[in-house]
Amino acid sequence: MIYSIEEISRRIKPIAKKYQISAMYLYGSYARGDATEHSDIDLAYKREGSLVRGLLKMSSLKMDLEQVLEKDVDIVPLESFEEPIIQQRHPRYIKNVKVSEVPIYVA
């Protein structure tokens, strides 16, 4: 199944609230509109102020999102894109995220 952006937004809203996430963004193939049946869903979230701290909470968030979306999910904190080492090693990836990101949840 290929979801619309609106459907993804509707499905992730309770999860974002559960983890007190203030903003989530869709990027990648779903944001660009070229997702296929086999595409995963790429999400970035604002970590500041959320309950997502540490690897265990991140894993729980990922599992909850995969359960409601019934798809593989890649989830990253927005703040990680500001890290100098990430900017140096992955500038093309960061540019692609920034170009395609679509806000799908704002508290």
Angle between helices 5-18 and 54-69 (to 10 degrees): 140
pLDDT tens digits, the chain, 107 residues: what are they?
899 999 999 999 999 999 999 999 999 999 999 999 999 999 999 988 888 988 889 999 999 999 999 999 999 998 887 788 878 888 887 877 777 789 999 99
Give the domain range for residue 67.
5-106
**8 A C-beta contact, residue 45 and residue 52:** yes
Please state the pTM of the whole predicted model: 0.87
CB neighbourhood size of 45 (10 A): 25
The closest alpha carbon to 8, from 36, 53, 41, belongs to 41
> Domain of 58: which CATH number?
3.30.460.10
How many distinct structural domains can be found in the chain? 1
